[in-house]
Every structure is written in C-alpha cells, then in structure tokens.
Amino acid sequence: MQSKEGLLSKIVNDSRSVGIILILCTVFSLIFSNISNGENYIGFWNYAWEWPSWIGEKLPHDIMLIVNDILMAFFFFMVGLEIKRELKVGELSSLKQASFPVFAAVGGVLVPAGLYAIFNSGNPDTSHGWGIPMATDIAFALGILALIAKRVPLGLKVILAALAIIDDLMAIVVIALFYTGEESLSLLYLGLSIALIAILVAMNMKKVRNISLYIILGVLLWYLVYNSGVHATLAAVVLAFTIPMEKAPKLEQKLHIPVSFIVLPIFALANTAIAFPSDFGAALNSNVSHGIMAGLMLGKPIGIFLLPFLMVKLKISSLPEGVFWKHILGIGMLSGIGFTMSIFISGLAFEDETYMDIAKISVLIASLISAFIGVIYLIIIGNNKKQSEGKIKSI
C-alpha cells in the first residue's frame, strides 16, 4: 500500500495536478457564485477595508487586489526565472528562436483587437472594448497545457509562457495608454521604479550574489510599480531577469509547490467568482459578445500562427527545436483563454454595467471553449507519432 507521503509526492510532481486543481477551483467558484446567496461568495473576494491614514492608498485594499497584485507576483516571478533560463541555455537561447514568441504575442494581440474593432466599428458605446480579447491568461493556459504535458514537446510550454507574458506586458502598456486616466499614473513612482531597476541590473553586472538583497529590493520595486499605476506583477518579471543565473534553479524549485498548489488555486477561485446575467441569451447576442468571442477563439490562433510563420519564412525568426507548426496552432487555441486580464480590461473599458457583464460572460465562455478545443486538438496531434509531418516545409 502506498504511503501518504508517497502519494502526496506523486501528486505534487505530476504536471497534470495543477491543471486539474485549476479546473476544479473554477467549477467550484462558478457554482458558488450562481447559487442562492452567491453574492456573499462574490462579495468575499471583493471585501475592502481602509488602511491607516499614514498608509493611505499605497497598498492593495481588497482581497481581489491582494490575490492579483501580490500573490500572483510570485507566479510571475517563477515564470520569469524559467524564461530567463530558457533564454540563456534552453529552447530560446538563439536570437531567432527567442524572437519567435515575441512575434507570436504581437500577432496574438493585433488580430483579436482588429476583429473586435470590426464588429464594433461606428459604435462609440462599445468600440472602446478592443483591448478585452488581447491578453492570454498565463496561469490558466499553462495549467491546462500541463494536463497534456506528456503529449506535447517540452519547448511548447516555454513558448506559451513567453508569449503569454509578452502579450500580458503589451496589455499592461495598452491599459496604461488607453484605459488609465492621467490622474492614475504617477511619474514620480514610475521614475523611481526605473531607477531601482537600473540598480538591480547593475548588481547583476557587478556579480552581486546575495539573493536576500535582490528580494528586499524586489519588494520595494513591487511597491513602486504598484503605486506608479502600472500593473504590479510587471515588477516580478523584471526582478526575475535580474537574478543571478546560478541562483535561479534553486529559487524555481522553492517556489514550485507554494505557487502551484496555493497561489494558483486561490487565483482561480477569486477570478472566476462571476454571476451569470439573468438574460443569458441576450448577453451573447450583441456586438460586444461577438467581438470578444471572435477575438479570443479565432483571432488568437490566427495571429499567433500567421505572424511567426511569416517571420520564419523571411528567415527573421525560427521554430524552437522539436516544435512544429501544428503545435503552434494548438497553443494559439489555448491562448484564447482570456480570463483575468480580459475581465480586468472589461471593467475599465465600459462604464455601463450591462456591457461590462456581457463582456465578462463572453470572456468566460470564449475561454472555456478555447481551452476545450485546444486540449482536444493537442491530444489528437499528440497521438500522431509522425510529428515531422506537422512541420510546414513550404507553401
């Protein structure tokens, strides 16, 4: 009989566990959000308080912000460490391969935004929502991919993580430029953030190896970025890229269990606490819904496939070793999982709560469909052992 310790170790080390837990948390959260008294469950995640006057508004002041701005910083830090390692010695170590997820992310941003704009052109009440289908939810996308990790090349996870982070960063820039009033940006905190980043980079170049010092300055960087008006998780990615390379593997190992089995499940519970609108059919029969669903379900795979394909044909970029075009189409489908950032932008894009609710439910449905189709597709092509047939030689 297997010991409890052995069973626990097996669960922790199984890459599929994270995806399964995320799915269960999502189902649980959606159910509790839509039963009688579901508003109490939703209200819990949005519970707010006031900090003492000497702190003011300088720290997150509700549970949802704690989850998305503080807890998720650990996740982005861990992913940043992994991407840095791959850029140095792994699948993305050459310039042409490193550029591949950049082009994929750009395509995966421009095409969804364009499709939404087509559906909502000429309507001033809804046209501002073009940023909603831009971002891929990195936590859910990677969690779902982990379910079928044995059926896809190892490099595919790195590409998905890289392009999801890049398009999240682009979404943050879009929020700062188009969805944030000037009064929400602080040039003082932004300037201090840039100065501190320069110090961290200099420490790395001078071969400072005291990790505690990096972490202390990283906490300060998070605080400065948060108060600058820019999404605070950006600080975690930047910090990860300044960590000395030889220290990264040990940090990744320490972060794996708390991030995968505490941070991500809490994130899933909080961000899927969404009440379905009473008139569900009407919510899906609008240009807002059509634009969002087309952007996530069609725009993401089309953009993520086509732009990198063009760049590879022009010999500007190249496919990572062991990855084929059929796999890129698959992660394009998974990238239609919008969730957090898309829902967040929905709240910024519309003042009318009706449009806001329509946008949120459309993001949820499109994300679930994208996850389902992406997984089925990757399973099907994973069963084909002749992977070389999937690489497009010429067109």
The whole-number pLDDT of residue 390 equals 46
CA distances from 98 to 36, 145, 146 (A): 50, 20, 22
The whole-number pLDDT of residue 83 equals 82
Question: What is the residue whose two structure tokens read 């995806």?
Answer: 19
Q: pLDDT tens-digit profile of 141-199?
A: 888 888 888 888 878 888 898 888 888 778 878 887 788 665 567 889 999 999 999 99
Phi, psi angles (nearest 5°) of residue 62: -150, 165
The whole-number pLDDT of residue 8 equals 57
CA distances from 129 to 71, 115, 117, 298, 356 (A): 27, 11, 8, 17, 10
- The burial of 44, by beta-carbon neighbours within 10 Å (0-12 exposed, 13-18 middle, 19 or more buried), is given as middle
- Pick out the chain residues at pLDDT < 70: 1-15, 55-57, 91, 180-184, 384-395
pTM over 0.75: yes
Q: pLDDT tens-digit profile of 316-326?
A: 998 887 889 99
Q: Is 62 helix (H, G, I), strand (E, B) or coil?
A: strand
Strand partners, 62: 48
Domain range annotation of the chain:
20-30+75-178+251-383
The whole-number pLDDT of residue 251 equals 92
Q: CATH number for the 20-30+75-178+251-383 domain, one of 1.10.3430.10, 1.20.1530.10, 1.10.3720.10, 3.40.30.10? A: 1.20.1530.10
One-letter amino acid for residue 227 of the chain: N
The whole-number pLDDT of residue 6 equals 61
The whole-number pLDDT of residue 386 equals 46
The whole-number pLDDT of residue 84 equals 86
Question: 152: closest CA among 43, 51, 6, 19?
Answer: 19
Whole-angstrom distance, CA of residue 81 vs CA of residue 87: 10
Element (H, E) at 143: helix 138-147
